[in-house]
Amino acid sequence: MSVALRSTLAVLGFAPALVAAQMPAAGPLKHEAKPTSAAISAQDLMTRLYVFADDSMQGRATATPGHDKGVEYIAAELRKLGLKPMGDNGTYFQTVPLVRRAMDPASTMTVDGQVLAFGTDFLYQAINGGPTKFDNAAVVWGGQLGDTTNILADVSGRFVLLRPSLGAMNQRALMAQLGRYTGAAGIGIVLPFPAIPPAQARAAQVPRVTLPGAPMMPGLPGGIVQLTAGAAVKLLGMPLDSAKFGMAGKAVSGDIRMKDEPAPSRNVIAMLEGRDKALKGQIVSVGGHSDHVGLTPTAVDHDSLKAVNWALNRHAVENGKPAAGPVRDSIVRAVVAGLKSSGRRDSIRNGADDDGSGSMAVLEIAEAFAKAKQKPKRSMLFLWYTGEEVGLLGSRHYTDHPTVPRDSVIANLNIDMLGRGRTDDIKGGGDAYLQLVGSRRLSTQLGDLVEAVNGRRKAKLTFDYTLDADGHPENIYCRSDHYNWARYGIPVTFFTTGLHGDYHQSTDEPQYIDYPHFASVTQFIADVMGELANAKDKPVVDKPKPDPNGTCRQ
């Protein structure tokens, strides 16, 4: 490594010798389970999370044996607590009729009488439902994906063609950008190479889990067409370099077909009935998703990946944007060069924080109220959703097919990723950090109640409402399980300590969770639950209710 490069990295804080010393201390790789108690504690959460995010769960991908094992653990704990089953046929489980959906290679697109072939000229990535068909849709050039200055105002019935983003874009940011064009007949992304690699064509035909029928996730398109540059030129009728923003192209027709195979999965639902005869028919619900994203295609060196993720995330926190290009490459090289690895190979994306932390927080809250000397006045509904990672499918199915009267639910609290939030994880993070989304979007009173509960704490939490801003590009309000309640006009609050460098990585493990902070915010959510369950009046909905089947807008 050159002297100049070492000097640059030292200024950035990534000198090889500093990385290991600056990373937060990790917990044990394994942890002996201990009996849990009524009190919400770091010890209880640690015990539960080491079980739920263990390697034996194989990353809990939706509709896999690993996920089945995870929800069986939750149900077994609920039986011990004596909570009322609220699933199918007197069980804790609600079957969600998912399918594995794969592309039909017979899918075609046609422009000017020319047939574009799947796997040669185009691919299709199903996002939100899958199949699509459009006839003589007018092509319009949308420019660069991620360009916030040039956004097409009216895309209804048109086929929007875009170049991929120039910079790095994580999955959430990509979905937020595509969400701007949900009214389009289709969305096409020009691939950055002249021909479709065979491996990518094969990957496009790998089945993906979804619900049958129409799009499921408001605010996102059904899918995106990936086109070679040559195919894109045919759609535009001119060289791409000549295209100007908003310019009209040809008319295109498409028949994107899918093949479905059943792949049922399960939500877990339990209830604690309230003690007040007049109020027990009203319900406070709390939930988190039990699934994650399974295995990586190949095993990687765990320690190297962890160190690189930490260093890149720290750079993003300190600079307000991800490292890209030569800076990113330099950080990676420096970290790996200075690392003494244990040699541990890892392919399991355990999902300890995402959303093992939320799932175990819900279970710990359930235990606290189930073992309390006095039950709350209103009833409490505890939910663990399947299929969040593949489009909020479990919460969509439950809210469309609830096992309690939907209008009896006075509020929903959603927990996703509650175990981190340190200063090196997120800008502004720390021991009291907590993000809130949606708490005043339907009910001012719910937002006020959440703030009031925090105001009574000895050690107050610091709320970050950044991601709750109207029109925020991350579109988080529309992209977690709470929205499936909000679309029916039920007040919601989403609690999270935020994203970090281990998101969807094999390094999201129980040993990296901040358990004292985790326990603190879990107790806070339990306090909010208790306040809602015992308050004289339920939160008043004083904001407009959305269309349950409409497009969500942050």
Three-state SS for 130?
coil
Question: Tokens 């999270």 belong to which residue?
Answer: 496
Could you tell me the residue ranges of all domains in the chain?
Answer: 82-98+264-296+347-554, 101-261, 301-337
Provide the mean pLDDT of the chain: 91
Q: How many CB atoms are located within 10 Å of the residue 329 CB?
A: 11
**82-98+264-296+347-554 CATH:** 3.40.630.10
pLDDT in tens, 17-32: 455 557 888 999 999 9
pLDDT in tens, 62-106: 999 999 999 999 999 999 999 999 999 999 999 999 999 888 888
- Structure token digits, residue 67: 């996920």
- Structure token digits, residue 532: 């809602």
Q: Compute CA 206 distance to the chain's CA centroid, rounded to the nearest angstrom.
A: 21
pLDDT in tens, 175-223: 778 888 888 999 999 998 888 988 888 888 889 899 987 656 666 788 8
- Give the helix ranges, DSSP H, for 153-297: 171-178, 198-203, 229-236
Confidence at 156, pLDDT banded by 50, 70, 90 = very high
| CA end-to-end distance (rounded Å), the chain | 46
pLDDT in tens, 391-418: 899 999 999 999 999 999 999 999 999 9
For residue 136, give the nearest of 107, 109, 154 by alpha carbon. 109
Cβ neighbourhood burial of 470 (10 Å; 0-12, 13-18, 19+): exposed
Q: How many CB atoms are located within 10 Å of the residue 150 CB?
A: 10
The residues that bridge with 249 in the sheet, in sequence order, are: none
Decide the pairing of beta strands 208-210 and 223-227.
unpaired
For residue 137, give the nearest of 289, 255, 3 by alpha carbon. 255
How much is the pTM? Answer: 0.86
The amino acid at residue 454 is: N
In CATH terms, 101-261 corresponds, of 2.60.40.10, 3.90.660.10, 3.50.30.30, 3.40.50.720, to: 3.50.30.30
The residues that bridge with 133 in the sheet, in sequence order, are: 255
The residues that bridge with 218 in the sheet, in sequence order, are: none
Confidence at 130, pLDDT banded by 50, 70, 90 = low
Of residues 448 and 23, more confidence is placed in: 448
Query: What CA–CA distance (Å, rounded) separates 179 from 553?
Result: 9
Query: What is the percent of the chain where pLDDT is above 90?
Result: 71
Edge-to-edge strands, sheet with 208-210: 208-210, 99-103, 258-262
Stretch among 18-27, 362-371, 422-431 having the lowest mean pLDDT = 18-27
Q: Compute CA 500 distance to the chain's CA centroid, rounded to the nearest angstrom.
A: 12
